[in-house]
Each structure stands twice: as structure tokens, then as C-alpha cells.
Amino acid sequence: MKQLAENLWIVDGEAVPFFTLPYTTRMTIVRLSDGTLWVHSPIKLTPELQTQVASLGEVRYLIAPNHLHHLFLLEWQQAYPQAQSFGTSEVQTKRPDLHFEQVFTPEFNAPWSADIAQLLFTGSHFMQECVFFHQASGTLIVTDLIENFSPDAFNALQRLLARGAGILAPNGKMPLDWRLSFMFAKQQARTHLAKMLAWQPQRIVMAHGVIVEQDAMAFLQKSFAWLDLHD
């Protein structure tokens, strides 16, 4: 567990295979103003991790930000039965065995809104993702919306594949297949990007890859250059 800012931590988990690449896993924990914990994209739960989490506070919210980030949610729900789970409609359709309090929508009124702003990034038939902004630390929290893998995470062939997909640091961005699905929805994506830029993030934490600690605004604009922002 690593603390990035006051009331903000990340925990890196084991890699899971995805499209022949070893995808590292990372969750983000925010301690809210009431002292409870908001857990984004939970990783594999171990006794050691449970002890660390207990030292921070009571788990109140479990977040499945898109339909690819659900693998370990059931074990967290079982370990923390008092916690409330939230996710996109796609993840809830994919995992009918999981219980969710509510689905993310563009109008969703989050119980954590005093601490964390959010945006449902829509426009693609491939996937929706809910992105978040921890206001006190200026941290943008994304899952697959931006992937920024270190080249050292891959062998030579895997690096070639990752570079082709556009997900190698320091030039990470949305994976190619997801980008292509916005061919007829770029204006909608630009609207979402404008809101994220209005947050003026100072840091970007993603589930996969190198965290951006400096020049976050410039990185965010560069990572979405595929939207042809000057059209």
C-alpha cells in the first residue's frame, strides 16, 4: 500500500492475462470526510491487505468502474457485507451474481460527491467507464480510459503489441480498439474530456501503468489527441 496524498492510497496487485498481455492490477482507496473508505477497482483480497485496509477505516463503498473490473468484487462483498457496491450497467449485466445498490448513470447522485466528483464516459458501444476526481488531492482516477504501461512490464513482443495499441508510457492513452469505437461519437467524447480538463487534475492514477505525478493537464490533453481536438 502506498499513500499518494492525504486520505488517498493505491495498492498494486498481481497481473492478470488480457489479450496476451500481463495486465497489472491497481486499486485506489479514498478516505472520505466521514472517515469511511471508498474502494475503486478492488484487487485480490489477502489477509495482509485486509489488515492494512482495517487500519484506514471502515469500507463503505465498492466501485466497479467498467465491465472489465469485477474479478475480485465478490470476495470484497463477502468480506465487507456492510459495504455498498456501485457499477456501470454493463458490469451489472455481466455479473448478475453480484449485488449492486445502484447503477452509474450521467445523472447519478453519488453519496460521496462531497469528496469525489464523477463522470460516466459514454459514446462507445464497446464500453462505458465511470471516472472520478478526488477534489482535495486534485487526483483524476481512471481505469482503462488511459493505460500507461511501463515498457519494462513486457517482453519484446509484448512491447510491440502494447506500442501498437498506444498504451506504452510515457505516451499512454485509451487502447486502440476502444478508441476506434468512438469513430462516430467523438463530439460526445470531447464533451466528457472538457469536463475532466475543467477539474484541472494535478495527478492521474490509472489501474494499469505509470501514475502521472507532473504536468497532468498536458498529459491528459496529449492522451486524448486522437479526438482531433482542433477540428
Please indicate, yes or no, if residue 221 is contained in any of the structural domains.
Answer: yes
Domain assignment of residue 98, yes or no: no
Q: What is the DSSP letter of 228?
A: -
Q: Which residue has the cell 474479478?
A: 71
Q: Provide the number of structural domains found in the chain.
A: 1
In a domain, 17, yes or no: yes
Output the pLDDT for position 123: 92
**pLDDT for res 231:** 47
Residue 217, domain extent: 2-89+106-226
* Domain presence at residue 94: no
- Evaluate whether residue 100 is within a structural domain: no
Q: Report the distance separating Cα 150 and Cα 134, nearest Å.
A: 24
- A 10 A CB-CB count for 175 gives 20
- H or E segment to which residue 134 belongs: strand 129-134
97 in any annotated domain: no
Q: Mean pLDDT, consecutive 10-residue segments, the chain of 231 residues?
A: 97 74 86 98 95 98 92 94 96 93 94 97 93 98 93 82 86 92 92 97 95 96 86 47
CATH number at residue 217: 3.60.15.10
pTM above 0.85? yes
Q: Is the residue at 95 inside a domain?
A: no
The pLDDT of residue 150: 86
Q: What is the pLDDT of residue 4?
A: 97
User: What is the Cα–Cα distance from 166 to 172, expressed in whole angstroms?
Assistant: 6
